[in-house]
Amino acid sequence: MSRKPLIAGNWKMHGSLAAVDEFAAAMTAGGGIAGVDMLVCAPFVYLERCVRAFAGSALAVGGENLAAAVDAGAYTGEISGAMLADVGCSHVIVGHSERRALYGETDAVVAAKVNAAVAAGLRPIVCVGETLEQRDGGEAEAVLARQIRAVLEACDAQTLAALTIAYEPIWAIGTGRSATPEQAQAMHATIRQQIAANNGTLSRSIRLLYGGSVKPGNAAALFAGDDVDGALVGGASLKAASFMDIARAAT
């Protein structure tokens, strides 16, 4: 791992005010981990509480989604990047597979959201990944290439410089069945090559996170891959102890 690792939690639709405070207490007691960036992405309504509660720790805070629209306006129920930045978020997850599958987010919507995030001063973490059917059909690389190309083509160099990509094979998310370290490294190397074909500098600097059933027990082996620069952690990010153990595995 030659880039500074980033360990990002994705709480999804989990949590409560009490859970935020409990997590914060454990983090502040444990302190930061030198050489590792740490981030928690939480539901919108808890973000401001996270920012306050994590203020004494090394944890950054991010949203799990944002509106594609940049300007404020008549978009009932939407939350803009500017609003996330306003409450203290530094990052935002874009195009998680659950949003692509359950809420119809297309590659074009994902690219628009990346632009909206960076316009608001946020650092987007774009999720890409294939289904089991696509992997078994030998299409995994083509799926990733399509998802990544949509972002590369829609964003300028300054926007891309703010980007992190999370490779999350859909068959590994929430299933307990992580990709093997070899599978993760191979796919990360493929992603880096795909980016290199477009932008050599970016391909060397961009952080590629692995996501999908990352736990304290498998994190170190996954992070051993040269092109694996950290993790996007779902279930194991809900408890500070397991989240910290994963972050420690990145040192």
Q: Which of residues 101-130 bind ligand PGA (CB under 6 A)?
A: none
96 is catalytic: yes
Does residue 5 bind ligand PGA (CB under 6 A)?
no
Site string for ligand PGA, 157-186 (x = CB under 6 A): -----------x----xx------------
- Which one of 17-25, 29-37, 113-121, 205-213 is the stretch in contact with ligand PGA (CB under 6 A)? 205-213
**HEC secondary structure over 179-243:** CCHHHHHHHHHHHHHHHHCCCHHHHHHCEEEEECCCCHHHHHHHHCCCCCCEEEECHHHCCHHHH
Residues whose CB is less than 8 angstroms from the CB of residue 25 and which lie 6 or more positions away in sequence, other chains included = none
Catalytic entry in 96, 98, 130, 188: 96
How many helical (H) and strand (E) elements, i.e. helices and strands, does the chain have?
Answer: 12, 8
Bridge partners of 93, per DSSP, are: 125
What's the Cα-to-Cα distance from 9 to each of 80, 209, 230, 246, rounded to whole Å? Answer: 21, 11, 11, 10
Does residue 212 bind ligand PGA (CB under 6 A)?
yes
Q: Write down the residue that tokens 């990509």 correspond to.
A: 165
| Among positions 10, 115, 147, 218, the unique one binding ligand PGA when judged by CB under 6 A | 10
Does residue 208 bind ligand PGA (CB under 6 A)?
no
Residue 135's CB: how many other CB atoms inside 10 A? 19
Of 65, 61, 15, the C-alpha closest to 41 is: 61
User: Under a CB-based contact definition with an 8 Å cutoff, are residues 130 and 144 in contact?
Assistant: yes
Q: Sort 240 into a burial class: Cβ within 10 Å, 0-12 / 13-18 / 19+.
A: buried
Does residue 232 bind ligand PGA (CB under 6 A)?
yes
- Which one of 156-164, 197-205, 211-219, 220-228 is the stretch in contact with ligand PGA (CB under 6 A)? 211-219
| Among positions 51, 229, 235, 250, the unique one binding ligand PGA when judged by CB under 6 A | 235
* Minimum gap (Å) between residue 32 Cβ and ligand PGA: 22
Does residue 247 bind ligand PGA (CB under 6 A)?
no
Query: Residue 104 or residue 176: which is nearer to ligand PGA going by CB?
Result: 176
Query: Residue 17 or residue 101: which is nearer to ligand PGA going by CB?
Result: 101
64 is catalytic: no
Catalytic entry in 64, 98, 105, 168: 168
* Minimum gap (Å) between residue 168 Cβ and ligand PGA: 6
Does residue 233 bind ligand PGA (CB under 6 A)?
yes
Query: Residue 81 or residue 235: which is nearer to ligand PGA going by CB?
Result: 235
Bridge partners of 61, per DSSP, are: 40
Count of residues near ligand PGA by CB under 6 A: 13
SS3 94: strand
Catalytic residues: 96, 168
Residues forming the site for ligand PGA (CB under 6 A): 10, 168, 173-174, 211-214, 232-236
